[in-house]
Amino acid sequence: MFAQIPRPLQFAESMLERFAALSVLRTPSALSSALVEACAQLSDCTLSQLYLLDVTQTRLSLCAQWYQGQLQMPESVSVSSDYSDMHLLQYCLCQNRPLLMNNLDADLHSTAFLPDGDQPWGSLLCLPLTDEQQHVRGLLVTASRTPGELGQMDEALLMLGNFAVAQMQLLGRPRQLAEPAAVATQISAPSREHFGLIGESAGMKQVYSLISKVLHNPVTVLITGETGTGKELVARAIHDFGLRRSKAFIALNCAAMPENLLESELFGYRKGAFSGADRDHKGLFDAADGGTLFLDEIGDMPLLLQAKLLRVLQEGELRPLGSNETHKVDVRVVTATHHQLLEQVQAGLFREDLFYRLTHFPIHLPPLRERGEDILLLAREFVEAACSFLQREQCRWSDAALEQLASHEFPGNVRELKGLIARALLLCDGNLLLPEHFNLPGSPNNEGQLSLRERMERVERNLLVDCLRKNQGNQTSAATELGLPRRTLLYRMQRLNICPAELKASRGKNNA
Ligand SMILES: Nc1ncnc2c1ncn2[C@@H]1O[C@H](COP(=O)(O)OP(=O)(O)OP(=O)(O)O)[C@@H](O)[C@H]1O
């Protein structure tokens, strides 16, 4: 690791000191500050920045910055959600790959995320920081005004950054264990049986069963479902719980790139393949060799590339742009789309042969409106995870807030629910979640088509299922908690078509 570094022994000693210093820090902000200071000093760079993803994993914020020998703790500056002027950060985050630019050209790449100055920035190293499960948690950036060889220390800085992230996560745990009242609300480890996904509805159980069938079978999988239903999460689960988990998982959104860029990103190119190709470049298929390549929005892949993809799927070999030779790759391909692919085939937008190749093993994710009983389960888990991440006392639920969530339609599916919860936690000053923290409008969508009675029944059903789950299917305890005679509960369960057998298998969750 230190072979390329000028004074390796001295560098190794400094690294050890930094690890030791980080290991005794007890707050995330102290860890962030010490990390950026260490990275700037070890790399001899003017600037080091730490960006972390929020609990919803959708917003990236600058948490600490070391610039010109001084620590700066920005007031939680969030990167805009479309990453305008921050494509270098977006690339590194989405590809989960380090980005090294020894000769940074500000005309080619926007560096708006770096502080202004008289001189332009000359070199940049951007490293994705990951947790134990290899999920990206943030980015560590170091930059210098002069062009240089930042690549020599990328491994060392990455280790230090990942260590700091792991420490931040660990810090949340002891506090929970130390507080007796919180013991009951510890986050349950993602269940193996559910592959880290949340949901007990029949639709989700079917998804778990399908995932288990493909874990050890290299068949190409097509995941379908509306936006925000968890397609990428399922793709990751297939990778994380399968035999390829020690190798790379690479995700690419086929709708997000123009055709020629998509082709060179996927298949790579040889020096001279086109103007500007001044060196060989490995594509994502090569980067994912031995692992998994997740092609999101496959329905938006241009027809020409569809033919090339089909060849890789059939022959297991690819030919980079500008090369006459093919080479073998061993990549599991998982695809996803929110389109009706068959309709696209009929409209001539999607190749029929590729369609049949991809649909060998489809997994459909049901929208949240078809698994209403999962809403409260997801909501509780998200709140627990978020409180733990933010290291704040676990929040309790008011009945009114639960009722409001149970009756709301979620057009944006789980992503929308997760976002609502993150916002509610910010608005909630105490530790009791109330309806005003959610501020949901009157339920739109098909609510209008349901009668008042049907709407009431839906709310009641969700609440009963939720309470029964919390009590591990025990009807006597659930009836006591609901303040109902057991016979009335049984009668309501029968009327609302709630099957007791389904509820016993569920995990018990705590609430208010
Ligand atoms: N069953 C689930 N359990 C836990 N979290 C979930 C579940 N389903 C979705 N999520 C969360 O909802 C968010 C959206 O999920 P994901 O990105 O996988 O959806 P998607 O279907 O791939 O969306 P898109 O179509 O926009 O690409 C993520 O934060 C994910 O962690």
> What string of pLDDT tens digits covers the 512 residues of the chain?
667 777 888 888 888 999 999 998 888 888 999 999 999 999 999 999 999 887 656 677 888 999 988 887 665 566 655 566 677 888 887 777 889 888 888 777 888 888 888 888 989 999 999 887 777 888 999 999 988 777 778 889 999 999 999 998 887 653 333 333 333 333 334 455 688 899 999 999 999 999 998 888 888 899 999 999 999 999 999 998 888 888 889 999 998 888 888 999 999 999 887 877 788 888 999 999 999 999 999 999 999 999 999 999 999 999 999 999 999 999 999 999 998 999 999 999 999 999 999 988 999 999 998 888 899 999 999 998 888 877 778 899 988 888 888 888 888 899 999 989 988 988 888 889 998 898 776 544 444 556 677 777 877 888 888 888 888 888 898 898 888 888 888 888 888 888 776 665 444 333 33
d(CA 419, CA 75) in angstroms, rounded, equals: 21
| SS3 state of residue 144 | strand
Query: If phi over 0 gives left and psi between -120 and 50 gives alpha, with beta otherwise, what is residue 37?
Result: alpha
Question: Which residue puts its alpha carbon closest to atom 24 of ligand 1?
Answer: 227
Query: What spacing in Å lies between the alpha carbon of 234 and ligand 1's midpoint?
Result: 8
Query: What spacing in Å lies between the alpha carbon of 230 and ligand 1's midpoint?
Result: 3
Residues with CB under 6 A from ligand 1: 56-57, 197-199, 225, 227-233, 296, 338, 414-415, 418
Question: Which residue puts its alpha carbon closest to atom 6 of ligand 1?
Answer: 230
Q: How many Cβ atoms from other residues are within 10 Å of residue 91's Cβ?
A: 16
Name which of 87, 128, 94 is nearest 110 in CA terms: 87
Query: What spacing in Å lies between the alpha carbon of 422 and ligand 1's midpoint?
Result: 15
Is this complex scored with an ipTM above 0.85? yes
pLDDT at 88: 84
The separation between the first and the last C-alpha atoms of the chain, rounded to the nearest angstrom, is 50
Give the pLDDT confidence of 401-451 residue by residue, as tens digits. Answer: 888 888 888 888 999 999 899 889 888 888 899 988 987 765 444 445 566
pLDDT at 241: 86
Question: Which residue puts its alpha carbon closest to atom 10 of ligand 1?
Answer: 230
Residue type (1 letter), 382: F
Atom of ligand 1 nearest to the CA of 414: 12
pLDDT at 176: 36
Q: Walk me through the domains of the chain, giving residue ranges and CATH numbers.
A: 8-174 (3.30.450.40), 200-366 (3.40.50.300), 370-504 (1.10.8.60)
d(CA 84, CA 130) in angstroms, rounded, equals: 24
The residue whose two tokens read 């078809």 is 370
Length of the chain as a residue count = 512
Give the pLDDT confidence of 355-392 residue by residue, as tens digits. Answer: 999 988 999 999 998 888 899 999 999 998 888 877 77
Distant-in-sequence, close-in-space partners of 254: CB < 8 Å, separation ≥ 6: 262, 295, 296, 297, 298, 300, 301
Atom of ligand 1 nearest to the CA of 227: 25
pLDDT at 85: 66
Atom of ligand 1 nearest to the CA of 381: 4
Torsion angle, CA of 459/463/466/469, rounded to 10 degrees?
-130
- Bridge partner residues of 249 (DSSP): 292
Query: What spacing in Å lies between the alpha carbon of 294 and ligand 1's midpoint?
Result: 14
The best mutation among 233, 300, 384 to test binding of ligand 1, ranked by most ligand atoms within 8 Å of the C-beta, falls on 233
Query: If phi over 0 gives left and psi between -120 and 50 gives alpha, with beta otherwise, what is residue 119?
Result: beta
Question: Which residue puts its alpha carbon closest to atom 27 of ligand 1?
Answer: 227
Query: What spacing in Å lies between the alpha carbon of 261 and ligand 1's midpoint?
Result: 26
Inter-residue contact 321 to 273 (CB < 8 Å) = yes
pLDDT at 256: 81
Atom of ligand 1 nearest to the CA of 204: 1
- Tokens for 82, please give them: 């479309």
pLDDT at 305: 92
Residue type (1 letter), 185: T
Inter-residue contact 86 to 80 (CB < 8 Å) = yes
Query: What spacing in Å lies between the alpha carbon of 373 and ligand 1's midpoint?
Result: 17
Question: Which residue puts its alpha carbon closest to atom 8 of ligand 1?
Answer: 230
Query: What spacing in Å lies between the alpha carbon of 59 and ligand 1's midpoint?
Result: 14
pLDDT at 28: 83
Query: What spacing in Å lies between the alpha carbon of 302 and ligand 1's midpoint?
Result: 25
The best mutation among 229, 253, 365 to test binding of ligand 1, ranked by most ligand atoms within 8 Å of the C-beta, falls on 229
